[in-house]
Amino acid sequence: MNADNLALAALNTTAFLLCVGFLLYVVFIMRPFLRRTDGVPGSREGHDFHFVVPCLDEELVVGGTVRHLLGTFPEATVWVVDDGSTDLTPDVLADLQLQFPQLRVVTRSLPDARRGKGAALNAAWRAIAASLPADADRHRVVVGVLDADARLERLAPDVICGYLVDPRVAAVQVQVRVTDDIDGLAAADLDSLVDPDDRLPARRDSLLVQLQDLEFTGPIAAMQSLRRRTGSVGMGGNGQFTRMAALDRIADEFGTPWHGALLEDFELGLHVLLTGGRTEYCDETFVAQTGLPRIKPLLRQRSRWAQGGMQCLRYLWAIICSPQVSLPGALEIAYYLWVPWSQLLGSVVFPAAVGVQVYFMTHTGDGVVDWWTQGAWGLVPLAALFGVLPHVVWGPVYRSRSGGTVTRRRAFVLGLANVLYAYLLQAAVWWAFLRLLRGRRDWKKTAHDGPGHRGSGRAPEPVEPARFAAPPGDPDWLSDDSLAEALAAEVRAARTRAPRVPEARAVEVPVAVVAEEPPTAAQPRVGGGASRPAVRPSRPRASATPPAPPDGPGTERIPPVLMGGQPERRRRPAPPAPTDPDRRPHP
């Protein structure tokens, strides 16, 4: 066999092995995923929950997240780590601290700040450890990590505690949902999602955002289902819950709970396993996050994940040799760490194999027709089997797992689009590989726009301002006609105090937008035509009016609507006489 034939044989064999390996992996993860049964929920009683929200320049979203967490889980403590923000994030947090005693803010300044998410989470861990009493049962203290735009389903702590009944379980990762309407999804009545008598409206998310949701609830959830059997469940950056005792154990052995990899969440899961803990995956509840509606931010995010996975390859030998990790778990972790490198290899091998086939088609035999009739047509079903079917199948699976909110036609479109989506993400792997070669380790942060906004600048577009930090109030207040006058007065006052702050523009909108959330797939209409509120507090607030912020440069320049502040209810004044132009209300 000459060198050309040997090279061609090696190329075809490599392409075939990559295809077979990928197809077998899809079959392996699909079987436990489709047979998944719900676990038994526990009770959060007796557990001390601490939610950690690391943020860097998150003025548009952090207020809504803090209000959601403290309104829905008043028994928990929320820790926000300000990692050196230069926008209005510190001012927003300062104002929120005046309203919520359960809120703790950990402020990091340069040069210690902006050293990655892991460093920020370690700062929160140290602060939580210092706040606990000496006799605290750290085995029952649960630290949850949430993104700055996260919405946690209201029953999540109880469901998570059902897994923590097993003392061997050290960490639990909940399912991640991606949507354009995080408030509507998190406020959904779970009974309505499974009741066959309720026909939910179709999801209104954009195609790219819905593909991200399909990825998390389909392939990623299926991978986690397989990992539950192999004992190698991976932690995610949003919705990870770990016992404080497990974090202490990792710190005792490795210095700190979180380390320097850009995939610090997966790295934490590896350390949990190496220290003898067990990780679990929970898809009976979820955490919702805002999807990325543009391709470039999506590729930037995935390049960070891919680079973090490449960095975690250094743990492979420790995982293989560890007596704490089972052989199936070690093999699964090895495959996961191999995935970005296989994508790099495949992105070279497959185009080369196609190029060789095109060359033979045009330069050998009697032309294309003869090449086709001699058996080359068999490449088409092979390509469909190995390159298309493993991606298309997730469309129908996604429909079956979404409570009927996706139509059959939409599921078919999502399945076809998922083929292009999967190959598009390979560009992120090359981006990560080039950064690795250049020695770049800086954190490529994902910018979070405010709910309902797709712009990349600091100031949001003037739509739905109340959703920056939706206050957990009653629907009667939300529909009060005095809201327009109150908002207008507050905006004018904010502009008078600080006309240079562009965020004040975001609140001049028709009050009808604020009065009622439109129904979504996860927030159907209820009787009387009203929709469910965006946030359901576990207990009513003591006062409808939050404390007034102190005078000074710290918080007075923040438009109260950005804080989700509830303006004082007041009686509608009598309309002025039309002959008195000086008393006419401002438009």
Instruction: Spell out the domain ranges in the chain.
Output: 38-193+204-335
C-alpha dihedral sign at 390, 394, 396, 401? positive
Confidence tier at 194 by pLDDT (50, 70, 90)? very low
| Global pTM value | 0.74
426 Cβ partners below 8 Å, 6+ apart?
A: 343, 346, 347
Chain segment 343-368, per-residue pLDDT in tens:
898 888 888 887 877 777 777 666 66
3-state secondary structure 521-583: CCECECHHHCECCCCCCCCCCCCCCCCCCCCCCCCCCCCHHHHCCCCCCCCCCCCCCCCCHHH
* Rounded percentage of the chain residues whose pLDDT exceeds 90: 48
* CA gap 470, 325 in Å, rounded: 44
* CA gap 176, 239 in Å, rounded: 7
Q: In angstroms, how far is the first alpha carbon of the chain from the final one?
A: 86
Confidence tier at 316 by pLDDT (50, 70, 90)? very high
Question: Span 72-76, mean pLDDT?
Answer: 94
Give the side-chain half-sphere CA count within 13 A for 27.
8
Flag the least confident range among 7-11, 131-135, 432-436, 461-465. Answer: 461-465
Question: Span 414-426, mean pLDDT?
Answer: 92
Chain segment 12-60, per-residue pLDDT in tens:
788 778 888 888 888 888 888 888 777 667 888 999 999 999 999 999 9
Average pLDDT, the chain: 76
Chain segment 454-495, per-residue pLDDT in tens:
433 333 343 333 333 334 443 333 334 444 455 455 545 544
Output the pLDDT for position 336: 92
Q: Which CATH superfamily is domain 38-193+204-335 in?
A: Spore Coat Polysaccharide Biosynthesis Protein SpsA; Chain A (3.90.550.10)
Are residues 50 and 143 in contact, defined by beta-carbon separation less than 8 angstroms?
Answer: yes
Rg over CA atoms, the chain: 26
Confidence tier at 559 by pLDDT (50, 70, 90)? low
Output the pLDDT for position 348: 87
Tallying the residues shown for the chain, one arrives at: 587
* CA gap 581, 241 in Å, rounded: 60
Are residues 195 and 186 in contact, defined by beta-carbon separation less than 8 angstroms?
Answer: no
Please say if the pLDDT value at position 536 is more than 90: no
Pairing of strands 141-145, 240-243: antiparallel
Residue predicted with more confidence, 401 or 507: 401
Token representation of residue 16 = 């075939």
Pick the closest to residue 55 from 238, 207, 190 (CA basis): 238
Enclosing H/E stretch for 15: helix 3-34
Q: Spell 236-245 as b/e; 16+ CB within 10 A means b.
A: bbbbbbbbbe
Backbone angles phi, psi at 239, to 5 degrees: 90, 25
Residue predicted with more confidence, 478 or 220: 220
Are residues 222 and 283 in contact, defined by beta-carbon separation less than 8 angstroms?
Answer: no
Chain segment 155-193, per-residue pLDDT in tens:
999 999 999 999 999 999 999 999 998 888 877 655 444
Residue predicted with more confidence, 34 or 327: 327
Output the pLDDT for position 2: 63
Confidence tier at 318 by pLDDT (50, 70, 90)? very high
